[in-house]
Chains A and B, each alone.
Chain A
């Protein structure tokens, strides 16, 4: 197989499998399968946006769940005030994510390496504590949504299949967008900066601007994921943006294969599968999950996409 073919085989089969989920769901406990699959697609969307930063920008953000939280809280806060129009909520989610990304990016991107990891972690935590102190919106406990978002006044997302379809559509669209983006001049400057910042500066680029745009873009996609996430769970709480969730997202990216985009989808699937299987087995599933994570780092380099082949970037 040529490298180009291998590079498309995995993503195409992944998306085909995801598209067939609603069909197979009819054979089993439909709402359960659709709920898991929707969760998978949404987390894959968030993880993919993180891969844009980690895999292409070399920017290890440990606060990416904050954007997920912003998207979810945009839905929660607006719907608690009686605004349940999806377009308004989505606009608020994206605006919030862009603003937060711009403000924190301006500071975090002045630093690099391990400082960047710690600062993004701290900013994520800042937002987490802000959410826990919002007594009007449930504080620590979070809040339950009365209904899913309405599209132009119609309750189109009420069926699980419709929400799944919307989520999958969003994932596919963002995937194609990100692929385009990383193959463009913009993406090359971003990868070039990861490889050697000084050289990029020497040939006349200002890497900071490119990194900031990438950081905000990733935040926007994760904000969109947060909007979907709130609709899927019907519940918004600070736990949506806990730092453990940021860690989980990094794990999905690494598990799937850094710098491949579709690897994040495979990583999210593997992560949820692990979680489901282990938690059926024992209540203390994390005691197995932790060592698995360590072993994955120590021994499985290149991730799932690396195993299947077609590593890009």
Chain B
């Protein structure tokens, strides 16, 4: 195991973690403010990826495609909010889970109907293709660095928005006591819609960003959704800061675990057994991590006080 390879994997982990953060941030805000568990958040990510693929193919430019995909993802999220989600805020979590599960089934099948089951591929933008040399003689794809930069940029933006603006203050207030905010004369419905649309757009942005490096296919949001759940459960539901740290933790542990677990086990077992056990163990690592953290702190690392 070479150190440069480890550094490359760490960068991949960071990139994966930041994508997870983009999704988890919306999910945790929506839950924190509206007490609404939205399983359909993962399909927003898928819709973002499909929109980016579609607009890129139509316009011939990834930049333009991304630019068009964002407002469309936002509009789509708002449409869902007005049509369905709005009627679920007052319902039990069980009803919310089931209804949003139905939306997942519908949208997964919907994209299959529109674009087929075969994965779409999106060409890398010309200006961001290729690799640049980093420290120690290794090189890293420019596009992945761009994702890292975009992820960090959004994280900084969110930090500023939530902590230093009026709307951010309302969001934080809504997360601790929505009824009180409403009683103080704030239009809580409007706040909900804004938060919801913003979360949907972030997930769509994440999907659009990964479209060139992953295959765009039906159901691509499902696994990401569950990982985003792991992230917000570890971070503490409703906490952006918790989501950020937990997303990086999950991204790094997942990526590095797949790389390190077989290598470490080789010290204990013979190579064949080590690689097999390692491969079986690696995908379980983040869940074990989650279990360990929850065992010590049942409401996550940064629980929101209510």
Contact = CB atoms under 8 A, between A and B. Distances in A.
Interface residues of A, number: 44
Contacts of A126: 283-284, 287-288
Contacts of B291: 104, 107, 123
A130 B280 contact: yes
Given A111-B299, A119-B290, 18 more contacts: A60-B97, A107-B294, A122-B226, A122-B229, A126-B284, A130-B284, A132-B283, A133-B283, A135-B279, A244-B105, A254-B94, A287-B110, A289-B102, A289-B105, A290-B103, A291-B106, A296-B102, A297-B91
Nearest to B277: A133
Interface string A115-158: 10111011101100110111110000000000000000000000
A62 B91 CA distance: 18
A130 B284 CA distance: 7
A115 B105 CA distance: 23
B39 to A, nearest CB: 8
B281 to A, nearest CB: 8
Given A126-B287, A250-B98, A292-B102, A135 B276 contact: yes
Contacts of A132: 283
B116 to A, nearest CB: 11
Interface string B98-129: 11011111111110110000000000000000
Given A286-B106, A293-B101, A113 B93 contact: yes
Interface in B60-106: 84, 87-88, 91, 93-95, 97-99, 101-106
Interface in A51-89: 54, 60, 62
A243 interface: yes
Given A117-B37, A133-B283, A54 B94 contact: yes
A132 B287 CA distance: 15
A5 interface: no
Contacts of A123: 287, 291
B233 interface: yes
Interface of A: 54, 60, 62, 104, 107, 110-111, 113-115, 117-119, 121-123, 125-126, 129-130, 132-136, 243-244, 247, 250-251, 254, 258, 284, 286-287, 289-294, 296-298
A294 B102 contact: yes
Contact of B98 (A125, A291, A297): A297
A290 B102 CA distance: 4
A110 B31 CA distance: 20
B298 A250 contact: no
A115 B110 contact: no
A136 B272 CA distance: 12
Given A135-B276, A297-B95, A110 B109 contact: no
B226 A247 contact: no
